[in-house]
Copies of this chain bind each other. A is one copy, B any other.
Amino acid sequence: MGRYELEYPRDAVNLIKRHGERGIYALEKIHSLVNTSQILHVSFNPPGSPFPVILPMIGQMGSFDRPSASLGDPLDLYLHGYVSARIFNASRAAAATGEGDGMPVCVAASHVDGLVLALSPFNHSYNYRSAVLFGHAVLVESEEEKLYAMELVTDSVVPGRWRNSRQPPTGAEMQSTSILRVKIASGSAKFREGGVSDDKHDLESEDALNSIWTGVVPIYSTMGAPIPGPYNRVELPQYAQFFDDFGNVNKENSIAAAQK
């Protein structure tokens, strides 16, 4: 309602330099991109290794203190560590050494929306949306906050699934599940939308124009028909409509991006 749109301040860490006109700093756009990514890539520096590490993880923006916060508000990122215990150990180590901020991480969310095929290979591109967040990760200790984050993350995979699966969690499940909370320091995003664009000298080449197909091929992620498991007894529930919606929305978005 006419409120200004919050942005992450531009600094040396998050500034988009190349194609700066494609740079996006609005919290709402960046957080939306993160929340619609089925997989996030999380990078950190494990103690004693020369290499940063990337782990694919599932995550979601949220606010435990203000669960009704909107996507354009300052939010934390909750990460669920299916993949490896290293990031949790490194986070614990960072906390133990008195680096009260937590472990520095970078989190990336990327969608490829189309192939952009131009006359010159150098004007080929993807339509894409990508975001990065920088922040400090700590382990969530409170049981209440862990439950909040688990529901948030589960429902990001299939909306409504948490309350439609076996509840409540057992003590063993709560103990064996780790959640990281990332306090965001900065972030930015970059979008590429639209059709092909070639240089003048190629657009004047009859030879090139008469032989090379140019345009955009939309790309999107979709879901196939659900395959019931060996002990399933029930019909597909109403919230399974999401499986169809997922592909349809992605398809529409990829075509809309091509036509911008």
Interfacial residues, chain A to chain B (CB-CB below 8 A): 12-13, 16-18, 38-39, 41, 43-45, 48-56, 58, 82-86, 104-108, 110, 112, 115, 117-122, 124-126, 128, 130, 132, 134, 150, 154, 157-158, 161-162, 164-167, 169, 173, 176-177, 185, 190, 195-196, 198, 202-203, 205, 208-237, 240, 243, 251, 254-255, 258-259
Contacts and interface: CB of A to CB of B under 8 A. Distances in A.
A184 to B, nearest CB: 11
A217 to B, nearest CB: 5
Given A132-B53, A154-B121, A166-B120, A233 B219 contact: no
A255 B227 contact: yes
A166 to B, nearest CB: 5
Contact of A49 (B12, B108, B110, B166): B12
Contacts of A18: 83-85
- How many copies of this chain does the complex contain? 2
A129 to B, nearest CB: 10
A241 B219 CA distance: 15
Contacts of A223: 115, 217-219
Contacts of A162: 121
B52 A45 contact: yes
Given A45-B45, A121-B154, A240 B213 contact: yes
B219 A104 contact: no
Given A43-B54, A164-B212, A210-B233, 20 more contacts: A12-B48, A12-B49, A16-B84, A43-B52, A45-B45, A51-B104, A115-B158, A120-B165, A120-B166, A121-B161, A166-B212, A210-B234, A213-B228, A215-B227, A215-B228, A218-B225, A218-B227, A219-B221, A220-B224, A224-B255
- List 7 A-B pairs, minimum CB-CB distance, nearest first: A218-B224, A54-B108, A43-B43, A52-B52, A215-B228, A215-B229, A196-B229
A154 B220 contact: no
A218 B120 CA distance: 36
Contacts of A251: 224
Contacts of A212: 164-166, 234
